[in-house]
Structure 1
Amino acid sequence: MQTHFTEEDLKKPHIREADRVLRTCVHCGFCNATCPTYQLLGDERDGPRGRIYLMKELLESRDDDDRITEETRLHLDRCLTCRNCETTCPSGVEYHKLLDIGRAEIERRVPRKASERALRYGLRKALVDPQRFQALLRLGLTFKPLVPGQLRDKMPPAPVDAGTRPEGKRHTRQMLILEGCVQPGLSPNTNAATARVLDRLGIGLTPAPEAGCCGAIDYHLNAQDDGRARMRANIDAWWPHIEKAGEAGVEAIVQTASGCGAFVKEYGELLEGDPQYAAKAKRISELAKDLVEILRDEDLDALTIKQSRKLAFHCPCTLQHAQKLGGAVEDVLTRLGFSLTPVQDAHLCCGSAGTYSITQPELATQLRDNKLDNLEAGDPEVIVTANIGCQTHLAGAGRTPVRHWIEVVDEALK
């Protein structure tokens, strides 16, 4: 794609990056064929190719250009950032990087209404702090009938017992785990089940309570400086455990939510311009591993499954398109003896997409219902997934039970 940035424009790092990404696009439109919002709406501006043209126009224009309106922002807001288009693209367009730049620019150029700003600010403040979120969740469960529907559907039916979490320090092999921000409240058993399964494999989890939200919520709601601040705080919390030499150091940083995992793996790129944190961030990204990357390399014969269930696996976009781990969980579950039902259009997003299900509820509900129809076609006992956002979004329909896949493995080992 030809661009028309001035020499003065190209002195700005974000414009140079946008120019690089734009020039890799060849207008082929293959991306539209796998874009969930384009399939629903049929509008070129709601597919990746159209959005790329909108962002090109936005970034090449002057601040007073009257072509840049709230309509431009609407089409960018409707993007799920599922990155399905990147998996499909034959030219390797790094669309998500361009989208981050475009969204930050439109936010600067076309301010939101006060109600929209309040919603996004409220989401950032409510979700990113685990203690605050759990307090709000307890309050919401107490007064559940009064909670707005789209939020009420995401609440668990009742507080979940996480069970006993083994003491990890007794193992020579040690790993860190990102506890997450909303997952400890919505699904506390996920990380506890992870600790129990890893314990059976001789792997302990070193606690790092100072680590908090990965930063993705802030970053993708255009509070990018706040997102980077959370990245730095996590690096500071993990670094003392990483810099230890020899057997005392940790092998990996385990992520049980694929959305967090995808973001932590990008710390190195997102902080490469920070002289104080660039090298550390790169090392953090190298150590970040989704849980399935740990299990698939272990001797699974050490795990004796005492029960097998018929499962349908929903592979989150952040696992298959961002981390390129499509098929990995299915392989581990099959090796362990579980029966998996086939899922049509498994590459398509469920509509969760971080806070998308709250900011774009109508589109998110359509995508969720389409996804559940495909997941339930094989009549599974349970739907399993690898991301807390997908889990709560799909479960909110009140149809087939939805859980994290490691919980089902943990139960089958008991």
Structure 2
Amino acid sequence: MADTARTLAPPTTGAPPIRPRRLRWVLGAEMLVNGLGRFTLMPVLGVVLATQDPAAGPSVVGAGLLVHNAATGVSSVLVNRYLSRLRYNTALGLSMLLAAAGFGVLPYLHDAAALILALLVAGLGISAHTVLTPLLAADIIADDAGRNRMYSMFQIAGNAAAAVGPFLAAALYVSTDARPLLTLVGGAYLVAGLILYLGLPGRMHPAPTSGRWPISRGAFATAVRDPNSRRVVAITVIGMFVYAQFYSAFALFVAYVIESPALRSVLLALPAVAIVFVQAAVTGVSNRLLRAGRSPFLLLGVGSLLFGAAMLLLGAGLPLLVASFASVAVFAVAEMVFQPMLSTAFAALPMDSRLEAFGIRQLSWTIGSGAGSFVGGAVYLMCHHNHADHVYWLVLGAATLAGTALLMLGARRTA
């Protein structure tokens, strides 16, 4: 991606900021290595937990996955005040060290409580990384289009890793011996931590929170009372709710109705592959709209509308393969618009501390995706067992379009 002239945000400690081009290289390399660790493990994490503790039932495996996902989403919010006391390179290096340690010890643990504790530690590291990397980019780059370009690069690197990770998992996790797999995973996180520690400026700190709490009452008040902030939070919850359907309801739908294993794999891998090749073009369109004065919220709304349209296609009565591939294609474009724009939108919210703004992003993200995963599992299965799959997709798509349209109409009235 070509460097363009842009205004740099004032550094938080007076240290010279890293050049945006160098920042892209450092964070791009780190995101790729980090993603290889994460996406190599995630497809088989439940199996690893069940194998490490043969006495563990489904409830223990479910609890482990729930704890890890919750920790990955929001645990860093609890330590916001302490993150701001560390330099960026130190905090990010430590976050990857926690992830490496938590995952690296899993092959040697055979007790459910110990396994869950290790996943909690790893989740804390991943959560801190998820908050601090876009925060660093927002501190360095002042304009929405420049930030969106950076966040899109994160998306490309992560999805390149997601396209390769499942194949590495299949090659490394054999005969229930998790050591080769988790040695690679832990090593990937260690390398990612080294890239961050050595590649980032040594004197930049995140701006501190504005009060004693991880997220101050003032930040929550802004999220509730400021119309644009309120809409950004609401569209995040809606969009993440529908986004989570791909990894819950749609994955179940494919498993139940697509007979060919090869076709199932293609459908589930297609968004990641599409993002690697098409994200840059979609980002270019998004950035032209941002420079023309369109708001990040408007583009989040477009992404959410596309998510809703993807759901409607599954219930529209089209031939199965046509509906499946059309839905995945629309979903992939929606993800390319929506995901990078989330961080762009929260970075621009009028809050005293950007660290708190990203903490609210994490809360909104986790609420939406957690509720979406639950509904995409429990409610979709209920509909499927009653031969009402199409009802699920139609209601979900219509509700998404209606909720998003109401938010967008509200924005137009107050513009």
Q: TM-score, normalised by structure 1?
A: 0.25
More helix by share: 2
Relative to total residues, which structure has the larger strand share, 1 or 2?
A: 1
